[in-house]
A and B are shown apart, each in its own frame.
Chain A
Amino acid sequence: MIEHLSTYRISDLVPFSREAFTSLVESYNQDIWPFQIVALLLAAALIPLVRRSDAASARLVSGMLAITWLWVGLVFHWKYFSTINWPAKYFAGLFVFEAILFLLLGVIGGNVRFEAKGRWTQLLGLGLFLTSAFLYLPLALLLGQRSSEVLLFGCGPSPTALGTIGILLLAQRGMARVLLWLPAALWCLVALITCYGMS
């Protein structure tokens, strides 16, 4: 078994080309337009909510994140990505699971609360969120990509996961935060492997 595993390369785990993935993203972006604007407005609304420490705002943040994870899971992964990547059905499951966690732990349980953090934690958390929500597109354009090829926070898995990790850095410590981090971190690993395999 170990002997067989060693014969696998990362590229063997990625069953599609960069060309196919880019075309898929372009079709997806075209089909969901102007949902990208809604997602950007949602991201903008999260910032003041995260900076408040009251329970109602925290529940609202969890609710909005639950919606984004549910959308990415059911629409991007299940409906689109699975047409060229059969594991995407399992990725959809991961994203729906995260949405349910935010619902149960954050909205219903009220276990996700935000508090004032040290300067570096604030910088890292907010920086990660603002980059994934608002700088993803300009950075991609600078690197020569077309806007139609870029997935945004709330629409695509990677910026959504990164942005979520950033927001959770601003949350109170506790089991809820750890549990919510796990799917996001797992996706980031999958995305890294996929990018490497496509290169």
Chain B
Amino acid sequence: MSGIDRRYFLKVLALSAAGLSVRLFAEPQKEKRLTKKIPSSGAQLPVIGMGTWITFNVGENQKLRDARTDVLREFFNHGGGMIDSSPMYDSSEAVIGYGLSKLNYPKTLFSATKVWTSSASEGLKQIKDSQRLWGIKKFDLFQVHNLEGWQEHLKTLFKMKEKGELKYVGVTTSHGRRHDELEKLMRNQPLDFVQLTYNMVDRSAEQRLLGLATERGIAVIANRPFDGGDLIDRLKEKPLPPWASEIGCANWPEFLLKFIVSHPAITCAIPATSKVAHMKENMGAGLGKLPDSSARDRMVKYVAGL
């Protein structure tokens, strides 16, 4: 072997050895947390948030409040963002505030609550109450709950946004109710967010609203992702499809949530839970890849066939 060949050979050998050691000793690549863009601002939001209907309504009970704080901790440990609540959920806002203060208000928090009253003056009081209960002055998102009194509340919320007291304004419906009215609002009001029910068995929003949201640049939050828990109860004893791992799903919550957030118009889903183990499963849906449209069709057909 000539001198030059030997030097070249040794160089290649050294580089190969270096590459091999990097591969052996480097940390495993962490799956990327999935986020989607909020159209009106361009900010990124994790696709899996959390709801608090019933699950966080535990009153003054210290033991239960601490247990819910553990659920919040798990949520934030997995990079959680949106927490959605409402004055309608009784003590949920107070319990959220309790937990957030124990966890020192994690930076990834995206605070979302609602105004739930037909009275404009009562609405102002509710906004102040929510600020006090959560322990935060400036919410990310305030929504008009079930479109109740939207005419007055949207005026209040848009004014707050103008003054920099609020980042985003939205409205909510659920269970497929008042879609006609919601459509009118989406066409005529400069909404940042809408919240509606969208899941594997309730896809009525696909007919008009999801397309309209994309057209109008409105972020969409999907509530009742497990149909109030009924979907999980129905499916938990059934086997996942053999191709579930191809779409990055290891359990039914991931399967059901990934279906939802893989729709191009959906910004995030907000499953609710009172259990740390279930929160871990839910947050698993916010990692890895999302099914494409043909995989989504397969998912719907599989569940329909069970």
Interface residues of B in 51-105 (CB under 8 A from A): 53-55, 57-61, 63-64, 88-91
Docked CA distance A9–B175 (Å): 10
**Is A4 positioned at the interface, with any CB of B under 8 Å from its CB?**
yes
Could you write out 16 A-B pairs with CB less than 8 Å apart?
A12-B175, A15-B88, A15-B90, A16-B54, A16-B57, A17-B54, A17-B55, A17-B57, A23-B58, A23-B64, A83-B59, A84-B57, A84-B90, A85-B90, A86-B88, A86-B90
Interface residues of B in 187-206 (CB under 8 A from A): none
- A9 is contacted by which of B53, B61, B228 (Cβ under 8 Å)? B228
Tell whether A4 pairs with B177 under 8 Å between CB atoms, given A23-B63, A83-B60.
Answer: yes
Docked CA distance A136–B176 (Å): 42
Write the chain B residue with the least CB distance to A88. B90
| Number of B residues with CB within 8 Å of any CB on chain A | 20
Docked CA distance A12–B54 (Å): 10
Write the chain B residue with the least CB distance to A23. B61
**Is A20 positioned at the interface, with any CB of B under 8 Å from its CB?**
yes
Q: Which residues of A contact B55 (CB under 8 A)?
A: 17
Tell whether A15 pairs with B64 under 8 Å between CB atoms, given A20-B58, A23-B58.
Answer: no
Docked CA distance A85–B89 (Å): 8
Contact string, A1-29, partner B, CB cutoff 8 A, digits 1/0?
A: 00010011101101111011001100100
Docked CA distance A24–B228 (Å): 23
Q: Which residues of B contact A86 (CB under 8 A)?
A: 88, 90
Inter-chain contact A11/B59, CB cutoff 8 Å: no
Interface centre among B57, B64, B88, B178 (most CB of A within 10 A): B57
A23 → chain B closest CB, angstroms = 4
Inter-chain contact B90/A7, CB cutoff 8 Å: no
Interface centre among A11, A16, A27 (most CB of B within 10 A): A16
Docked CA distance A23–B90 (Å): 16
- B58 is contacted by which of A7, A11, A14, A84 (Cβ under 8 Å)? A84
Inter-chain contact A8/B274, CB cutoff 8 Å: no
Interface residues of A in 38-66 (CB under 8 A from B): none
Docked CA distance A85–B175 (Å): 21
Closest 3 CB pairs of A and B: A83-B59, A84-B59, A23-B61
Contact string, B150-187, partner A, CB cutoff 8 A, digits 1/0?
A: 00000000000000000000000001111000000000
B126 → chain A closest CB, angstroms = 12
Q: How large is the interface on A (under 10, 10 to 19, 20 to 34, 35 or more residues)?
A: 10 to 19
Inter-chain contact A16/B90, CB cutoff 8 Å: yes
A70 → chain B closest CB, angstroms = 23
Q: Which residues of A contact B61 (CB under 8 A)?
A: 20, 23-24, 27
Q: Which residues of A contact B178 (CB under 8 A)?
A: 4
A8 → chain B closest CB, angstroms = 7
Interface residues of B in 19-78 (CB under 8 A from A): 53-55, 57-61, 63-64
Write the chain B residue with the least CB distance to A84. B59
Inter-chain contact A20/B177, CB cutoff 8 Å: no
- A7 is contacted by which of B54, B88, B91, B177 (Cβ under 8 Å)? B177
B171 → chain A closest CB, angstroms = 16
Q: Which residues of A contact B88 (CB under 8 A)?
A: 15, 86
A159 → chain B closest CB, angstroms = 22
Interface residues of A in 83-105 (CB under 8 A from B): 83-86
Q: Which residues of A contact B63 (CB under 8 A)?
A: 23
Inter-chain contact B228/A11, CB cutoff 8 Å: yes
Interface residues of B in 250-281 (CB under 8 A from A): 274
A14-B54, A15-B54, A15-B90 are known; give 15 further A-B pairs, CB within 8 A.
Answer: A4-B178, A8-B175, A9-B228, A12-B175, A17-B54, A17-B274, A20-B58, A20-B59, A23-B63, A24-B59, A83-B91, A84-B59, A84-B90, A85-B90, A86-B88
Write the chain A residue with the least CB distance to B87. A86
- B90 is contacted by which of A8, A11, A83 (Cβ under 8 Å)? A83
Docked CA distance A83–B228 (Å): 23
B120 → chain A closest CB, angstroms = 20
Write the chain B residue with the least CB distance to A87. B90
Q: Which residues of A contact B228 (CB under 8 A)?
A: 9, 11-12
A94 → chain B closest CB, angstroms = 19
Contact string, A142-168, partner B, CB cutoff 8 A, digits 1/0?
A: 000000000000000000000000000
Inter-chain contact B175/A19, CB cutoff 8 Å: no
Write the chain A residue with the least CB distance to B60. A83
A80 → chain B closest CB, angstroms = 8
Q: Which residues of B contact A8 (CB under 8 A)?
A: 175
Docked CA distance A8–B90 (Å): 19
